[in-house]
Structure 1
Amino acid sequence: MTDKSPIPEDRIPVIVGIGEIVDRPQEITEGLEPLDLLEQALRRAEADAGAKLLGEVQSLDVVNFLSWRYRDPEKLLAQRLGILPAHCYYGPVGGETPIRYIHEAAKRIARGECNVAAVCGAEAQSTVTKADRAGVKLPWTPFAHDVAEPKRGAAFQKPLAIKLGVFRPVTVYPFYEAASSAHWGQTPHEAMAESGTLWSRYSDAAAQNPNAWLKRRYAAEEITTPTADNRLIAWPYNKLMVANPSVNMGGALLLTSLARARALGIAEQKLVYPLGGASAEDPPDYLVRDQFFESHPQNAVLKAVMDLAGGDGKKFDAIELYSCFPCVPKMARRTLGLSADVQPTVNGGLTFFGAPLNTYMTHAACAMVRRIRGGDKLGLLYGQGGFVTKHHGLVVAKAPPRDALAQETSVQAEADRNKRAVPEFVNEASGKSKVESFTVLYGRGGDVEHGVVMLRTEDAKRTLARIPAGDSTTLVHLLNMDRTPVGSLGEITMAADGVPEWRVA
């Protein structure tokens, strides 16, 4: 038997440059617009690589941004850089997209379709919000009012979910939070303690990251205790447990082939190798999923990346588990077989590092490159988008790959194979029912607006129902910290406005 021939160096993709910018202007009008942030991040990535690469970019991916609207931002950016890339793409909304773009760029290099690829993203939401509040006109590229806003959460949800206010991430992820912790046999008190400890670890990483928006450590109790500054939004989430989008940030990565990197004299210690990854997704309407205590696409993606690490999640020296809400890394670390004392981030998390909306994982990838350059051998980047909807994992390493980069990354068939029967959703119901999951929504002043329960009816159908703020008995039952209400029984009645209401038995 002969050894298989080595992979040609011009077909081995490498990450060679990373660049980040954080903009904290003294005056609102001095704030940089997203296009400026993108350009500066790319120029910093080129400087980091130590070689003239931007003029050679043949593949440019720009992560979707929401703080400002442009017509064809990817083309505007290419013009600024003086390039005409064959692949020039501005993508859809999704927190997993930076990882997907890095992975796809690596595959283009591996196929010989391009020599140099760039992936970048930016947001300037902090400046935009301040300008709106102050009534200040920003001296930026004119806002493209005729460009449609991208489709987001509410566009895919059922009318009853919208009527009850459970169509935004902060009001939907609690369904996974309650269902998963009940499935693991935790009391709500234990689940909250796990979230606080985990989030405190994200804040630890942010405190040490010069690019983080909130650079201080938060104790677990600080994170989980509601206060005027840390108000409850949707049970069990306080402000310090959710993403913080009010930031100004840009991030970029440059990739090339090993052959080109060596020809340009890029230092070997700068090179980080993508080894492969996986993707899968669920339907965007969260109410057509079989259950809420685990995510089949997440499981399939994480098992695939574990296989790349020899079938063991503990082989990763560094990991970044997406952190829009605690349930996501809590589910992920269990699938990866990692213990409760895991360090889940190299970057700092969407609460503390900051959440430049879809592009957080661009920054996490930059942080991971620094970690691998610093001596870690194997890293995992796991991004997620929607309502536990879209998932992408990517493995990066210090050493070159033994095998060519696999071109098929979808593990959708595996995710779908594990899906059980989905209950029929009904808008009207009455009689006995069982709690599948729940949340309670709060106003800005800290008062309960209403509770929302996801229910299974006696004939095994699914519905949503309201608990009015005046039903203190049912609300006390839902918010009991010693015993989960998941699985408890009650009665559905139809209210005068045509919305189901639920009362505990």
Structure 2
Amino acid sequence: MASQLPPERIPVIAGIGEIADHPKDIAQGLEPLALLEQAARRAGDDSSVHLLREIDSLDIVNFLSWRYHAPEQQLAAKLGVSPRHCYYGPVGGESPIRFIHEAALRIARGEAHVAVVCGAEAQSTVTKAARAKLELPWTPFASDAPEPKRGAAFQKPIATQLGVARPITVYPLYEAATAAHWGQTPRQALDESGVLWSRYAQAAAANPNAWIKRAFAPSEITTPSPDNRLIAWPYTKLMVANPSVNLGAAVLLTSLAKAREAGIAEEKLIYIHGGASAEEPRDYLARDQFHQSHAQNAVLETIKAMVGGDGRVFDAIELYSCFPVVPKMARRTLGLGDDVQPTVTGGLTFFGAPLNTYMTHAACAMVRRLRGGARLGLLYGQGGFVTKHHALVLSRTPSQQALSESVSVQTKADAAYGDVPPFVTDASGDGTVESFTVIFTGKGDVEHGVVVLRTSDGARTLARVPAQDQATLAVLTNMDRSPVGTNGPITTSADGVLEWRAV
């Protein structure tokens, strides 16, 4: 081995396990805790059952389809282990990558010898049971267990009132702002999204664990239809995360020395070269702009520097894919062309979105790809409203350097920030569109539009565009000209909410 580091301090991924549960009978569906156990045992089978019995670090990714008291302790008991580090994490799509990175650092420091990171959701079964008014024979739902704080909890009341405190309605604000910043017409931006998403669908079609195993043409993804309704402009159902899945995944890490002692073949071991993390302010309206994420840039620029400054050296990539704007921003920061293959897994629409734990499945898919011959892999996860970012470099070959303890690049992200405009809820005069979306009902009708405006004195505000204002809605949804930068008068409606119209 080229590395001179002691094998006891070299962390490796030695085992992976996944499960996709498609019960014929709703009552036979596996609960998240059972999915977790099966995924962990499969990771043990993929590495060494002997290692599974020696887990001393256990991280569970937060799940939302079912609530338990101390699920980490319950899983440890089912596995027959008593890990020193036993943790159930907060909400965040980046958290699997963070947990894998932190577990690797524990092993590198000698604080742990066998670590498992796992996550699961059973939202498909939960939803079907609710519709059928069926009580599931699962561990009793822990209604008194603390409910995790999600993105909406950090937003301004007016954002909740106008319906732009959910991921599906916030990410379109970045979509519109980035397209205008890059000089794209809305039609060009949508075409890019369709091509990119069709590549995720193609990968999902080849992934045996994917929930939707069918390739989609770009136009099928971007064109509204009865089965592909508009949800929040410009995103259709096939452009958003699909949480109605039953999926579980686990990643088992250990030291190179312990993997060798367990008799695991060298070609199965995957090395962790390093990573980076950073965050944006949790309130998206407290950010300086919406055409880039300074935290994402800092993380991905750091990753790029780790591999010699050229993102094209990665021959296996997973770019987080809750909504198209995220990988579109990421590929530009990494210097990747529009021909990028952005996934080894299939994406949160087609593979499925077991909410916070998608990237656990992506880690499993990346390990398979590297074992199959790829040389260098990038896992990039994201959480919140373009809020939390973590990336990790994996390889078939060991690094020449010890795993760095310097993970946060928050200082770099913060240094890039411009002035943040003050937010106001009372304004008049003209407002200039900074970004926007149009929210649709479940039947495909316009509910209302929402614009982020900059006032004449430089403040930021949110305003509604009523469904009956067809002229302004036509300006917002014009495919050949972005409304970003358009001026129009701000008024106050009878319910006290600001409204805006194009002139």
Q: TM-score, normalised by structure 1?
A: 0.99
C-alpha distance in 2 between matches for 1:50 and 1:86:
20
For residues 225-276 of structure 1, give each alpha carbon's deviation from its aligned partner in whole angstroms, at most 9, with x where no partner exists: 0011100000000000000000000000000000111111100110000100
**Selected match of 1:321 from 302, 319, 322:** 319
In the TM superposition, 1:108-119 aligns within 5 A as: 108-119=106-117
Is the deviation greater in 288-297 or in 299-308?
Answer: 299-308
Pair 1:213-2:211 in alignment: yes
Any conservation in 1 of the 2:61–2:88 contact (CA below 8 Å)?
yes
Task: Name the aligned partner's letter for residue 130 of structure 2.
Answer: D
- Name the aligned partner's letter for residue 108 of structure 2: A
Q: 2:378 and 2:130 mapped to 1: Cα distance? A: 38
**SS at 1:379's partner residue?**
strand
Q: Match of 1:286? A: 284
Which letter maps to 1:285? D
1:7 is matched with 5
Is 1:355–2:368 an aligned residue pair?
no
1:50 positional shift: 3.8
Secondary structure class of the residue paired with 2:68 = coil
CA contact 1:51–1:266 (8 Å) conserved in 2: no
In structure 1, the partner of 2:470 is 472
Partners in 2 of 1:154 and 1:96 — Cα distance?
17
- What pairs up with 1:393-404 in 2 under 5 angstroms? 393-404=391-402
1:310 to 303, 308, 311: 308
Structure 1 CA distance for aligned equivalents of residues 3 and 229 of structure 2: 60
Identify which of 20, 23, 27 aligns with 1:22: 20
- 1:134 and 2:141 correspond: no
Please give the secondary structure, in 1, of the residue aligned with 2:118: strand
> Which residue number corresponds to residue 99 of structure 1?
97
In structure 2, C-alpha distance between the alignment counterparts of 1:50 and 1:372, rounded to whole Å: 19
Q: Give the Cα separation in 1 of the matches to 2:156 and 2:135.
A: 37
The one-letter code matched in structure 2 to 1:284 is R
Q: What does residue range 212-291 of structure 1 map to in structure 2 within 5 Å? A: 212-291=210-289
Partner of 1:179 in structure 2?
A: 177
Q: Distance in 2 between matches of 1:319 and 1:312?
A: 13
Q: 1:190 aligns with which of 183, 188, 191?
A: 188
- The C-alpha deviation readout for 1:347-378, integer Å capped at 9, x for no partner, is 00000000000000000000000011011110
Pairwise CA distance, 1:311: 1.2
Distance 1:275 1:44 in 2: 25
Distance 1:148 1:118 in 2: 24
Superposed CA offset, 1:435-479 (max 9, x none): 000000001111101000000000000000000001111000110
Paired with 1:337 and 1:498, the residues of 2 have a C-alpha distance of 46
Deviation, 1:52, is 1.6
Contact 2:3 2:399 in 1 (8 A): no
Partners in 1 of 2:307 and 2:57 — Cα distance? 28
Q: Does the residue aligned with 1:56 lie in a helix, a strand or coil? A: coil
CA contact (8 A) 2:276 2:407 kept: yes
Deviations 1:365-398 (A, max 9, x none): 0000001101111000000000000000000001
Does residue 60 (structure 1) correspond to residue 45 (structure 2)? The answer is: no
Q: CA separation in 2, counterparts of 1:23 and 1:413?
A: 42
- SS of residue matched to 2:213: coil
Return structure 1 stretches of 4+ with deviation > 4 angstroms. none
Distance 1:208 1:368 in 2: 14
What does residue range 416-455 of structure 1 map to in structure 2 within 5 Å?
416-455=414-453
Q: Hey, what's the Cα distance between the residues in 2 that align with 1:39 and 1:148?
A: 22
| Distance in 2 separating the partners of 1:317 and 1:105 | 25
Any idea what SS the aligned residue of 1:259 has?
A: helix
SS at match of 1:504: coil
Query: Which stretch of structure 1 is more off in the superposition, 420-429 or 149-158?
Result: 149-158
Distance 2:492 2:49 in 1: 67
How far is 1:148 from its partner? 2.3
What are the ranges of 5 or more consecutive residues in structure 1 without an aligned counterpart?
none
Separation in 2 of the partners of 1:107 and 1:309? 20
Report the Cα offset of residue 408 of structure 1. Answer: 1.4
SS at 2:50 equivalent? coil
One-letter amino acid matched to 1:308: M
Give, in whole Å, the separation in 1 of the partners of 2:227 and 2:50: 47
On the 8 A contact 1:271/1:398 being kept in 2, the answer is: yes
Superposed CA RMSD in Å reads 0.9
Q: Tell me the equivalent position of 1:412.
A: 410
Moved more, 43-52 or 367-376: 43-52
Letter in 2 for 1:227: S
What code does the residue aligned with 1:215 have?
K
Q: CA deviation at 1:69?
A: 0.3
Work out the CA distance in 2 between the residues paired with 1:61 and 1:215. Answer: 29
1:335 counterpart residue number: 333
Give the aligned partner of residue 372 of structure 1. 370
What is the distance in 2 between the residues matched to 1:151 and 1:254? Answer: 28
- Which residue is equivalent to 1:80? 78
Matches within 5 A, 1:20-59: 20-59=18-57
Task: Kindly state the Cα deviation for residue 51 of structure 1 after the two structures are TM-superposed.
Answer: 4.5
8 Å CA contact retained: 1:51, 1:264: no
Unaligned runs of 5+ in 2: none
Matched with 1:90 is 88
Q: Percent identity?
A: 70
2:276, 2:409 within 8 Å by CA — same for their partners in 1? yes
2:199 aligned to which of 198, 201, 206: 201
Residue 187 of structure 2 aligns to a residue whose secondary structure is helix
Could you list the per-position Cα deviations for residues 99-133 of structure 1 after superposition, in whole angstroms to 9, with x for gaps in the alignment?
A: 00000000000001011000000000000000000
Deviations 1:464-501 (A, max 9, x none): 00000011110001100000000011110011111000
Give the CA deviation at 1:308: 1.4
What corresponds to 1:344 in structure 2?
A: 342
Q: State the partner residue of 2:488.
A: 490
